[in-house]
């Protein structure tokens, strides 16, 4: 996959990488995407907020903790960079000034050490009644682009909304994105077996997300206005899943749940799938 001047050596990438990524084989990956950081840490749940809904489907509770960009710099990034593949820092913010601030911080602290950033597009500041729309995506992307400069690779990760994803993607493209990732988590509710336990609101990933993510990738790749390369993200566990995403128009895939459920899976897939090429090449 080509991201501006950067060529990914393998179509398999690791998304939401654990901060302590232990083991071997990760040097074969196309890229590593970090867990999302915010400018200020956001208190919340750690691993206990991740529920296994069924064998290959997870739910991340809504109130998960987010580390600060500063902790990323001080504690986590050197370790992730030691695997020797491009590292993209995933960032989010509740509004445009927040995206500008965190992008400025990363540009200042890292210069050329990181390959670029992934912009996690989530609902903007809902307290003010704002809705996620193409303009927000464009402005967030543009704010990050202005801080990182014209050369940086900026991947915009979109929500799993097949009906709306084309418009959001066009916003990202207008704002100066280098590539798209489809998709992030799908809002859902999990009812624990214990009937007295409260329902858990969150976002699902893994097996249950895959058909929706495939549809999103397909929507994007079949819109002649959208020219950006696409990462397919959702429920990749096997080489056949990788091939499915490539058939639908993705140029590479990201693996998150698979790695969480089976540490080392992304490295093993990278060893198996290095030869695969996207259908559109």
Ligand X SMILES: Cc1cc2nc3c(=O)[nH]c(=O)nc-3n(C[C@H](O)[C@H](O)[C@H](O)COP(=O)(O)O)c2cc1C
Binding site for ligand X (CB under 6 A): 15-16, 35-36, 50, 58, 60, 90, 120, 157, 184-185, 205-206, 209, 233-236, 255-258, 260
CB of 176 vs ligand X, minimal distance in Å: 19
Q: Which residue is nearest to ligand X (CB)?
A: 205
Q: Which is nearer to ligand X, 182 or 226 (CB)?
A: 182
Q: Which is nearer to ligand X, 124 or 234 (CB)?
A: 234
CA angle 232, 215, 13 (to 5 degrees): 5
Q: Which is nearer to ligand X, 148 or 255 (CB)?
A: 255
In this structure, is the dihedral angle defined by the CA atoms of residues 16, 140, 147 and 145, taken in order, positive or negative? positive
CB of 163 vs ligand X, minimal distance in Å: 19
CA separation, residue 40 to residues 87, 99, 147, 181, 280 (Å): 21, 12, 18, 24, 40
CB of 261 vs ligand X, minimal distance in Å: 8
CB of 120 vs ligand X, minimal distance in Å: 4
Q: What is the rounded CA–CA span in Å between residue 19 and residue 163? A: 34
Q: Which is nearer to ligand X, 56 or 224 (CB)?
A: 56
CB of 129 vs ligand X, minimal distance in Å: 24
Q: What is the rounded CA–CA span in Å between residue 87 and residue 81? A: 6
Q: Which is nearer to ligand X, 219 or 225 (CB)?
A: 219
Structure tokens given for 265: 């899976």
CA separation, residue 150 to residues 4, 30, 81 (Å): 10, 22, 23
Name the strand (E) or helix (H) holding 198.
Answer: none
């Amino acid at each position: 996959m080509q991201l501006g001047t950067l060529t990914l050596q393998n179509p398999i990438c690791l998304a939401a990488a654990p901060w302590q990524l232990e083991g071997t084989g990760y040097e074969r990956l196309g890229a590593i995407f970090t867990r999302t950081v915010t400018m200020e840490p956001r208190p919340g749940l750690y691993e206990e907020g991740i529920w296994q809904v069924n064998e290959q489907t997870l739910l991340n509770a809504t109130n998960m903790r987010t580390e600060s960009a500063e902790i990323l710099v001080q504690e986590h990034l050197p370790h992730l960079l030691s695997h020797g593949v491009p590292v993209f820092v995933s960032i989010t913010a509740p509004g445009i000034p927040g995206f500008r601030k965190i992008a400025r911080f990363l540009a200042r602290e890292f210069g050329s050490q990181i390959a670029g950033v992934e912009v996690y597009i989530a609902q903007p500041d809902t307290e003010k009644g704002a809705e996620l729309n193409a303009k927000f995506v464009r402005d967030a992307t543009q704010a990050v682009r202005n801080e990182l400069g014209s050369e940086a690779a900026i991947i915009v990760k979109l929500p799993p909304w097949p009906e709306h994803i084309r418009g959001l993607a066009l916003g990202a493209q207008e704002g100066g994105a280098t590539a798209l990732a489809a998709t992030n988590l799908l809002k859902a509710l999990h009812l624990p077996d214990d009937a007295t336990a409260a329902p858990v609101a969150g976002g699902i990933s893994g097996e249950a997300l895959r058909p929706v993510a495939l549809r999103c990738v397909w929507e994007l790749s079949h819109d002649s206005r959208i020219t950006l390369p696409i990462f397919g993200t959702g429920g990749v566990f096997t080489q056949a899943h990788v091939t499915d995403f490539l058939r639908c128009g993705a140029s590479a895939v990201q693996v998150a749940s698979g790695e969480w459920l089976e540490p080392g899976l992304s490295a093993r897939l990278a060893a198996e799938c290095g030869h695969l090429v996207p259908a559109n090449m």
